[in-house]
Each structure stands twice: as structure tokens, then as C-alpha cells.
Structure 1
Amino acid sequence: MSGLNITDPGHLEASNLFYRDPALYDRVQTGSDSASTCRALVDRHRPDARTLLDLGCGTGRDLELLSQHFDCVGVELQPGLVDYARRTRPDLDIRLGDMCTIRLGHTVDVLTCLGNSLAYVHDNQEIQAVFRTFAAHARPGTLLVLCCPVAPIERDGPHETQVETGSGTAHVTIGYEWDLRAQINTTRRHWVFASGEETRDLIRRRVLGPRELELYASLAGFDVVQITDGTGAGALNGPVAYTVARYR
């Protein structure tokens, strides 16, 4: 699995600036349409849904929006993100746990795994374990909405962008690497903050193609009903897709 393990929250935090600074992560993600896309998919495929479990809920940003429509529980591996979520969103039910192994002892109408959370699971057996967790909280008709990379990001050389941090603008240089054998897309970022401080981080995400996702889902008892990039168009045009599946 080449070093990064979903059961090692310390490694994840050390590798990604957003996990060390949840407030910055929340700020950068302002305006994300992930929760609204998820809600639209649930409305289309399970309009009667009332209960929702979000695995890999991070800071609870999406869960907060989804909780306006569903009775929600969130699960997150990293203690720092759980602490931040509980401080900033105290009305949410967010629990510390590993989505490879957690068992809450009940089923729900909707399971979600957003924000590329599954992409941090690199090993095939551990991916199967996550799908077993989905199945353990499902009953016939339960809907799974999963967002993860289905194709690598590849660019010729690094590119530069600006990020508003709340205390000035950071200049970020980003480069990508693609390891086809391991199906790992590596993102390297060099941050230069307005204060002059610099830091680097490295994010490694497993890419699962649509047919792979269909296979993992099927083995766990789910039938895929839609794979979409969230734009409403029929084709998949971006590296990230939403997979919607129903438990048999």
C-alpha cells in the first residue's frame, strides 16, 4: 500500500495541510456543491429517505447541510477533525471511527462517503472492508452515494494558484504524478503564505475506475444505478464521479 494507510490517522494528518488546519480546509471548501449534488441524487433515487450515515465526514461541512434534510450521523477517522467538527458544529452527531471496521449496530436509508474519503484506502482488501461496512449499515433499498476519483489528474509540469486563507492570500504550486501500476495519483503542493511561511504537503489517492466500483459494490450486495460527474450530463467528463448504488 506504499506507506499511506487509512488506519493511520497520524500519517494522514502529517501528509495533508488541510488535516492539520481544519479551519483552512473549511474555508477552501466554501461554495462546494458536494452536499447539494448528493441531496439531488438521493431525491432522485430514494426520495423517501429519512436517515443518513456519512462515513469519512471530515469537518462535518457536508453533514451540516445534509442534516437540514436527514437525521444524520457522521464518522471520521482523524481525531483532530472530529474535535474541530464538535467545536464548530456541536449540533451534529459525529463519532470517531475507522470506516474499514466501524459497526454502529443499526441500518440507515442512505450511506454517503464524500470528499474523496475512499481514495485514501489504497489496499484492495481494505477497500472491500469499507464496502462491507457499507453493507453492515444497509437494508434492502438502502442507497449508497460515493464520491471518489475515477481517473487520474495528469498535467505537464506544475501549475500555480492562489488560496484565500483568512489571514491573507497563499501562493500554491501544485504538481501531479500518476503511478499506473498502483493506481495512485500523487499531488504535491508547495504553500507560500502571506506571512512568508512555507510548507509542503503530499496527498496520495487511489483511483478506482467505474467498472471497479461496480465490482466492489456488487460483491458487497449493492447494484449500481448511476455513475455521474455531478454536472447532469450523461458522460463522465472529470476525474471525480459520484457512484449511486442500491442495496439488494
Structure 2
Amino acid sequence: MSSLDIVEAERLKASNLFYRNPWLYDSVQADSDSARICRALIDQHRPDARTLLDFGCGTGRDLEQLAQHFDCIGVDLQPGLVDYSRRTHPELDVRVGDMRTVRLGRTADVLVCLGNSLAYVHDNAHIQATFQTFAAHARPGTLLVLCSPVAPIESPSSQQAHVETRLGAAAVTITYEWDLRTQVNTMCRHWVFDSGEEYRDTIQRRVLGPRELELYVAQADFEVLEILNEAGASPVLGPGAYTVARFLQ
């Protein structure tokens, strides 16, 4: 990793409680069906797929489920998440890498970028670079499945959620801010555990509207097949939408 990659990884780690405690993320994600949704989309659009690359694989939770059906490699910017994934899922091939620049020297039938990973890339040039990474690992017919917000949350009042974690039960107060100029949706979370421990973290996600997302997809020689909302998204994790595209070259 370059020095800039390390700085970016540390910045994200400092801002997100899940990056500092990956087992907590897995605990909160226990009921997530993102891998199931991803698999259904692959079955619909590329039923013959055998190989898969996961950019922004995090703790490896989704990758572990997808690896039951595909030959997979996962990549994530956070060394701590990669280390956790290797310890909890030693059968997986998980590597440290920045999805804006990483080159694995191979292509795959399916590329996935789940967990709103794309939304952590805010700069336009870096978003383009990320899509070029997708293109560099694609061949004609390669399927791209993205999960990323396509509309902001603008809530005048705070939201409350109750979650069960390995630290015990927690009450989470969530507030949102929306910066129209930068298209960044900021989610602030205040965690209060039954043990009395309290944590605060701040998540900033770049929102790409459907037409803007389609433009980035087209610039990288993919075509959008469909964009659909994620039903039943967790308030603690925030919303996302699934974009499915096919590589044309």
C-alpha cells in the first residue's frame, strides 16, 4: 500500500466504529441478506458465472457465503479488516488493496462491490478510477453488481434503533446531514450499550443518483441492466441500492 492508501485507511478506521471492531460489524450484520440478493442477481443475469472478485470485501462475511458458489478473491483497503477476515475465514483468498488502483492481473465472470463501499469514494476522479479498476478486471459479458445509495436520507429528527451485539444490547441514536453541493450524506451514530459504554462515530457517503451512476458505468464500457432499491435496509448501516451492469468490450 502507498502512504496515501495508509492515511485513507486510518482516516476511515478512525471515523467508523465497525472498522475498529470488525466483529461488531459482523454481529450487527447477522441478519443481512446482501449475499443472497447478490447471488439472485447473478443467477438472473449471469447463471453460468464461476469466478468472482469482491472489491471492498470488509470482514469477508458476504464473501464467505458467495465463495460457496464461486471461485472468489476479496480485496479491502483496511488491513485490520483483511486480518480479521483471514482469521475468521481462513479458507478465503482476501488481500489488502485500494479499489481505486489495485490490479490483480486477472478477470472474472462477476465483479461485486457491496456494503456501500463505493460510497466511501467521494472525489469524481477517484470514482472514475474505481470504475476503471472494475473494467481492468472485466472481459466481455462480465457482470458488475454494486450496492451504493442512489438517494440521500434527509431526516429532520434523530432515529432510534436497538441492536444486539457481542458487546451486548445497544441503543443507537442516528442523525443525518445532507450536503447538496458535495452530494455527501453524513450519518452520525451515538451508541449506548447496556454495559454503560458509549461510542460515537461518523459515516460520510457520496450519493450518486441513478443517472450519474449510469454515466460512470458507461464511461467504463459497462451498460446498466437494472437498478433496484434495497428493501428492509438496517437503520444502523444505512440504505443502499443494487446496480447491475454488463461489460461490453
* TM, length-normalised to structure 1: 0.93
CA distance in 1, matches of 2:6, 2:120: 6
Shift of 1:240: 2.1
CA distance in 2, matches of 1:6, 1:210: 31
1:29 and 2:29 are equivalent in the alignment: yes
Shift of 1:153: 1.1
Mark the CA change 1:230 to 1:169 in structure 2 (over 3 Å): closer, same or farther: closer
SS in 2 for 1:30: helix
Q: Which runs of 4+ in 1 moved over 4 A?
A: none
Aligned-partner residue type, residue 226 of structure 1:
E
SS in 1 for 2:104: coil
Shift of 1:171: 1.4
Contact 1:228 1:243 in 2 (8 A): yes
- Which residue of structure 1 lines up, in the alignment, with residue 235 of structure 2? none
Aligned-partner residue type, residue 126 of structure 2:
E
Identity within the alignment, %: 70
Shift of 1:102: 0.2
Aligned-partner residue type, residue 78 of structure 1:
Q
1:216 and 2:222 are equivalent in the alignment: no
Shift of 1:73: 0.3
- Which residue of structure 2 lines up, in the alignment, with residue 120 of structure 1? 120
Aligned residue pairs: how many?
Answer: 238
The two structures, once aligned, show a CA RMSD in angstroms of 1.4
CA distance in 1, matches of 2:79, 2:57: 12
- Which residue of structure 1 lines up, in the alignment, with residue 98 of structure 2? 98
CA displacement 1:116-135 (0-9 Å, x = unmatched): 00000000000000000000
- Which residue of structure 1 lines up, in the alignment, with residue 147 of structure 2? 147
- Which residue of structure 2 lines up, in the alignment, with residue 183 of structure 1? 183
Gaps of 5+ in 1: 232-237
SS in 2 for 1:196: coil
CA distance in 2, matches of 1:203, 1:240: 14
Aligned-partner residue type, residue 203 of structure 2:
I
SS in 1 for 2:30: coil
Aligned-partner residue type, residue 31 of structure 1:
D
- Which residue of structure 1 lines up, in the alignment, with residue 18 of structure 2? 18
Mark the CA change 1:132 to 1:92 in structure 2 (over 3 Å): closer, same or farther: same
Shift of 1:7: 6.3
CA displacement 1:179-208 (0-9 Å, x = unmatched): 011000000111112221211100000000
CA distance in 1, matches of 2:222, 2:106: 18
Shift of 1:6: 9.3
Aligned-partner residue type, residue 22 of structure 1:
P
